[in-house]
Amino acid sequence: MGELKEKVDNKNIQIKSKKISLSETVQNRTSELNNIYSNIISYITNKSRYGSINVSNYNPLVIKPEGIIDNGAAMRNLAIIAFDIALLELALENNEVGNYYPKFLIHDSPKHNDMQIEMYKNIFDYLIMLENKYIENGRVFQYIITTLDISSSVEKQFKEYVRLTLDNSGDGGKLFGCDVEI
């Protein structure tokens, strides 16, 4: 009976140690995600806003320099796009689990005029920077977005960055060649 108790006690110590390690990893990743997200918001808004993620519910926020949350429609759209990009970048940056990360990210663009065009174009430029940063390590991904506007960086290297153009002239101009009902 004493031997069994000793084994159980040892296992409980191991479990406690693993829980502490996991908790530390989660805290580190949450902090890292918050930093990445804030940097993305700052980049896209030309340093006129910063981002913060509410860690209790992972709600991404866009914050004005005076500390007030910006709940404008454009900023809500930006928060979602930037949060997705931040998750992608966090996965690219951390490879403790091998090469498992999203190989592509898809966004349906905001409606025309829902976001300032310069911020919208900065999204493309940020993703180009991200691609260039990780491609050297063989960590490649594809960003798919439906859009009518592209940045000058993308336009200058159209053949390198644009793989498919779509139109609304029938099934041939659709991303998957058909309507996708979800």
Give 82-113 pLDDT, tens digit per residue: 999 999 899 888 866 556 677 777 777 666 66
> Mean per-residue pLDDT for 59-66?
96
Query: Residue 180 pLDDT more than 80?
Result: no
Q: Would you place residue 176 in the very low, low, confident or very high pLDDT band (cuts 50, 70, 90)?
A: low
pLDDT for 69 equals 95
Tokens 């993308």 belong to residue: 154
Q: Which domains, and CATH codes, for the chain?
A: 2-173 (3.40.50.300)
Contacts of 74 (CB under 8 A, 6+ apart): 110, 114, 115, 116, 119
What's the alpha-carbon Rg for the chain, to the nearest Å?
21
Contact 122, 113 (CB under 8 A): no
> Mean per-residue pLDDT for 22-40?
90
CA distance 102 to 90: 11
pLDDT for 106 equals 78
DSSP-H helix ranges across 54-169:
73-93, 117-135, 152-156, 158-161
Handedness of CA 39, 152, 88, 179 (dihedral sign): positive
Q: Would you place residue 172 in the very low, low, confident or very high pLDDT band (cuts 50, 70, 90)?
A: low
pLDDT for 181 equals 67
What mean pLDDT, rounded, does the chain reach? 83
pLDDT for 78 equals 92
Q: Would you place residue 27 in the very low, low, confident or very high pLDDT band (cuts 50, 70, 90)?
A: confident
CA distance 72 to 143: 25
CA distance 76 to 79: 5
Contacts of 99 (CB under 8 A, 6+ apart): 139
Q: Would you place residue 48 in the very low, low, confident or very high pLDDT band (cuts 50, 70, 90)?
A: very high
Q: Would you place residue 8 in the very low, low, confident or very high pLDDT band (cuts 50, 70, 90)?
A: confident
Report pLDDT digits (tens) over 131-150. 888 888 788 888 877 776 77
SS3 content of the chain, % helix, strand, coil (to 5): 50, 10, 35
Phi, psi of 52 (to 5 degrees): -150, 145
